[in-house]
Structure 1
Amino acid sequence: MTETDHRPSPKAPPATTARTFFISGFGTALEFYDFIIYGLAAAIVFPAVFFPSFDRTVGTLVAFAAFGSGFVARPLGGIVIGHFGDRIGRKAMLVLTLLIMGGSTFLIGCLPAYDTVGVAAPVMLVALRLVQGFAAGGEWGGASLFGIENAPEDRRGLWGSFTSAGIGIGSLFGTGAFTLVTLLPEEALQAWAWRVPFWLGGLLVLVGVVARSRMPHEERRTDRAPRVPILAAVKRHPRQMLLAIGVAFGYNTLAYIGTIFTVTYAEERGYTSTESLLLQVAGSVAFTIAVPAMAVLSDRRGRKPVVIIGTLAYAAFFFVYFPLVDGHVLVLATLAYVLVNVLMAAPQACIPAFLGEQFSAATRYSSISATYQTGAALGGGTAATAATALFIAYDNDPVGVGLYSGAAALVLVLCAWGLRETFRVPTAHLGTDTVAGTYSTTCSGAA
């Protein structure tokens, strides 16, 4: 079976670095903006707006559980959207995911509060989170592949990391938007101001849709693609798929502890909502700057060293992070957030290329989307809730969260170690038997 070629046709304009970043990174920035504003609202506003019958800490726990519900739909979105991405091409699916994401985000901003319609309010909130999750399930993989499949041979790590940089940019915009609305009086924040970032996110997605509608058309030969790409991928790459799920599980657990739970932690330690969000802004800036640097390092030294060493350092630093924040010295707390995000950038920068390089072109969209989103659902969907529950169980002592992070890091490291090192394998040979033969010997030394 000849595999489907998803590179642009010869008549299409070439994909430059800036063009690829805008299509891949900016679209993901808008998608993650939507996710981060929901996570921040769950930590700051939603306990009072949608779950007022609980006390603050338990209300936050329930709000995080609603946040996690969106992850339930992500594997399904990855499989469905990935299927059509492999069968008919990347472009249509990447436009569709942004439209769905933007529409559901805008509607969240329009929801009535619990005091107005009762239990229907949180039910509608969870329903829209499921829609968001479905769209996000197909977004990340397709955006990553657009960068990887159009990259020069020695820049797949960098071009694939545009989605990771987009995560940082989206987080920066999201935390910045929420920081601004928290400057308003508490009554205004809970009454209407929290809705503004959601409305803005819905409108900004239109910019990404316009950019993606001008993407180069791929050369598509759907008659040569597998009839059911995900089943073909499971049959051809079973080991890689299981290990990729483990990598995604470990990373997403660490990432959502580092971006969502830390907002609640700072507030529990006496920081104001505005201060905790400013700390997140500093971390987002550091993450966005660190991602391309880590990606370039992976193009030169290999994916495995950057992922493994960065993950171990990230998990170890959590036991330093909490005392720095507890000291309530703003400079030290800022340093803590910056370093956590720099270390978090190490695995995230490499994961798009590292996972995408494990699979063949004809099933790559389905493979990377299904595996990453399954791991994200198992890890990221439960991370903030589990961390908050451990924090409560340990009587507001973060040691349980630190141990939880260490366990997630161990899963990530072991699964990353088990995957092939492919940074020197030509794009045309990725996911083929050639990887296990001619190139594996060359690449193994870099691990």
Structure 2
Amino acid sequence: MTNHLPPSALRTFFVSGMGTALEFYDFVIYGVAAALVFPQVFFPDLDRLTATLLAFAAFGAGFFARPLGGMVFGHFGDKLGREKMLVITLLLMGMSTLLIGCLPSHASIGAAAPVLLVLLRLVQGFAAGGEWGGAALFGIESAPAGKRGLWGSFTSMGIGIGGIFGSLAFAVVGLAYDDNLVDFAWRIPFWLGGVLVLVGLYVRVQNNAQRPLSKNQTVRLPLLAAIRLRPRQMLLCTGIAFGYVTIAYIGSTFFLAYATQLGYASTQALLFDISLSVAIVISAPLFATLSDRVGRRRVMIAGAIFMAAGFFAFFALVGQHSLPLACSGYVLVGALMGATQGPIPAFLAEQFPQHMRYSGMSAAYQIGAALGGGTASSAATAILIASGNNPLGVAVYGSVALAIVALCSYGLRETAHMSLAELDGSN
């Protein structure tokens, strides 16, 4: 007999947060490899900066499969249940990651190598598009009263933990192979990711506690219902996702390539990335808890403003070519990033009633993620090239994205102190 008792915080964290950590480990190691390795492995005939631009473009291709994944898994998640979709998304991500680690290089099969890379990246993006919304909702819909922000942030913490695992895997492999990742060592983190996904699958398959879905036979297509009944919320949630994911992927991929461009070693750059992820894991639940108390909008708007200032401070610190100062810059950015990343899952989910929630929040978030994250690293790199390696333009670009986050957050209703029953019954 199925157990519908509310799961504990720890159990929910392992299903929502750690499952997402393993999935986004796979996502992050691709970004790390795109910054450090793939230019030489898949685009060896081009100069380093142009090859990096193309590697980021291949990285961005996966983002354009994310809206489709969000729509497909969101639909069936609203119809059949959240957890079934979480198992499928994790399995797809693990398989594609393992296969990327087995890909021949450009030297072996020519142009077919980057083509296969992009195809597998599309599968990764499709899976990631369904993962985020389902994992976040598992935490939010299981949360005790007054803690939806905190429990929703388990997913945000999982993304940060996945970043730590991914960067740490490359750092350890880099040290073991004397920083020579290009020949063979880059494949090891991808193989490890395929194995680690089995752990996440075990946790999710074993879990049998889920808030029952309401039976609403009148809504055949939840996404169309969300677009028809909540068009303003869909648009503003997409704007928040666009702005946030833009700065998130500037931070997790472009910053890594920028550090190596300044002369920092690959292992040092990975240390910076780990520092940023650790700061997010710590700050995201703190700001999410604050949003439970004072409201989502206040935290999101203040976080966006301070984060914009942090972008300018980051480039000043990293440009000093000092390891402690550079680490401080990454920690600062990660801590401020948590101010928006922490409350986002609950803030977006609360804009939709249960029967269209997975579809509405996933589609909005993933469309924004595709438009923002899919172009962020390439756009930032292009701005850096056009400005003669002056990072000021990149800081302005990030600030514009954060202004969009603040404005769209202001336009949404405050939902932190409404019950799930009130949210589910609202029109």
TM-score w.r.t. structure 1 length? 0.93
Q: C-alpha separation between the residues in 2 aligned to 1:225 and 1:180?
A: 53
Show the counterpart of 2:203: 211
Show the counterpart of 2:276: 283
Q: C-alpha separation between the residues in 2 aligned to 1:355 and 1:34?
A: 25
1:35 aligns with 2:27: yes
Does the CA contact (< 8 Å) of 1:81 and 1:93 recur in 2?
A: yes
Show the counterpart of 1:143: 135
Show the counterpart of 1:377: 370
Q: C-alpha separation between the residues in 2 aligned to 1:292 and 1:314?
A: 17
- Which secondary structure does the structure 1 equivalent of 2:183 belong to? helix
1:253 paired residue among 238, 243, 246:
246
2:287 paired residue among 277, 284, 294:
294
- Which secondary structure does the structure 2 equivalent of 1:266 belong to? helix
Measured at CA, do residues 130 and 225 of structure 1 come closer, stay the same or move farther in structure 2, by a change above 3 Å? Answer: farther
Show the counterpart of 1:92: 84
Q: Report the Cα offset of residue 182 of structure 1.
A: 1.6
Q: C-alpha separation between the residues in 2 aligned to 1:345 and 1:432?
A: 30
- Which secondary structure does the structure 2 equivalent of 1:193 belong to? coil
Q: Report the Cα offset of residue 188 of structure 1.
A: 4.9
Show the counterpart of 1:350: 343
Q: C-alpha separation between the residues in 1 aligned to 2:214 and 2:241?
A: 30
Q: C-alpha separation between the residues in 1 aligned to 2:303 and 2:179?
A: 42
Q: C-alpha separation between the residues in 2 aligned to 1:128 and 1:433?
A: 40
Q: C-alpha separation between the residues in 2 aligned to 1:412 and 1:67?
A: 23
Name the aligned partner's letter for residue 148 of structure 2: R
1:426 aligns with 2:419: yes
Name the aligned partner's letter for residue 50 of structure 1: F
Measured at CA, do residues 431 and 250 of structure 1 come closer, stay the same or move farther in structure 2, by a change above 3 Å? Answer: farther
Measured at CA, do residues 226 and 51 of structure 1 come closer, stay the same or move farther in structure 2, by a change above 3 Å? Answer: same
What are structure 1's unaligned runs of at least 5 residues?
1-8, 435-447
Q: C-alpha separation between the residues in 1 aligned to 2:247 and 2:213?
A: 37
Q: Report the Cα offset of residue 53 of structure 1.
A: 1.1
Q: C-alpha separation between the residues in 2 aligned to 1:187 and 1:424?
A: 50
Percentage identity across paired residues of the two chains: 58
Show the counterpart of 2:160: 168
Does the CA contact (< 8 Å) of 2:312 and 2:395 recur in 1?
A: yes
1:242 aligns with 2:241: no
Q: Report the Cα offset of residue 219 of structure 1.
A: 2.6
Q: Deviations over 1:39-65 (max 9, x none)?
A: 000000000000101110100000000
Name the aligned partner's letter for residue 383 of structure 2: L
Measured at CA, do residues 287 and 206 of structure 1 come closer, stay the same or move farther in structure 2, by a change above 3 Å? Answer: same
Q: CA RMSD in A?
A: 1.4
Q: C-alpha separation between the residues in 2 aligned to 1:178 and 1:147?
A: 30
Q: C-alpha separation between the residues in 2 aligned to 1:188 and 1:270?
A: 16
1:113 paired residue among 89, 105, 110:
105
- Which secondary structure does the structure 1 equivalent of 2:146 belong to? helix
- Which secondary structure does the structure 2 equivalent of 1:192 belong to? coil
What are structure 2's unaligned runs of at least 5 residues?
none
Q: C-alpha separation between the residues in 2 aligned to 1:281 and 1:80?
A: 33
Q: C-alpha separation between the residues in 1 aligned to 2:221 and 2:188?
A: 41
Q: Deviations over 1:170-215 (max 9, x none)?
A: 0000000011122244685212110010011111111111111123
Show the counterpart of 2:352: 359
Show the counterpart of 1:49: 41
Q: C-alpha separation between the residues in 1 aligned to 2:218 and 2:25?
A: 34
Q: Deviations over 1:336-370 (max 9, x none)?
A: 10010000000000000000000010000001110
Name the aligned partner's letter for residue 234 of structure 1: I
Q: C-alpha separation between the residues in 1 aligned to 2:35 and 2:60?
A: 13
Aligned length in residues: 426
